[in-house]
Amino acid sequence: MMLDLSKSQTWSADVGRHGIQVRVTSGEVWITRQRDELDHLVQAPESFESGWKGRLVVFALTPARVEVTPLTSPARATGRVAHAAAR
């Protein structure tokens, strides 16, 4: 699913067992997950994979185009996130 988010617009979903990939094709987003102490800043052309079950929220820090894809196998740490900031 491709999303065009305006600055300050949010999108959220409940992540299931296999997880989800969020690929930022333009702009910058802030990703937070339910019960996660870390927030994640992701900018184009980076991706973020999460196998963390629960609510995931994507907040556009700038106008952003984001592709969201359910994973077909459980997510694993990929190191493809630029940086994370503690809340």
Full set of structural domains in the chain with CATH:
2-75 (2.60.120.10)
- Please tell me the predicted confidence (pLDDT) of residue 17: 84
Q: Between 73 and 80, where is the model more confident?
A: 73
pLDDT band at 74 (very low <50, low <70, confident <90, very high): low
- Please tell me the predicted confidence (pLDDT) of residue 69: 95
Among 31, 39, 49, which Cα is nearest to 85's? 39
- Please tell me the predicted confidence (pLDDT) of residue 84: 44
Q: What is d(CA 55, CA 31) in angstroms, rounded to the nearest whole number?
A: 11
Q: Is the pLDDT of residue 6 over 50?
A: yes
Mean per-residue pLDDT for 19-36? Answer: 96
pLDDT band at 58 (very low <50, low <70, confident <90, very high): very high
Q: Which residues contact 66 (CB under 8 A, 6 or more apart)?
A: 2, 3, 5, 11, 22, 23, 24, 25, 27, 29, 58
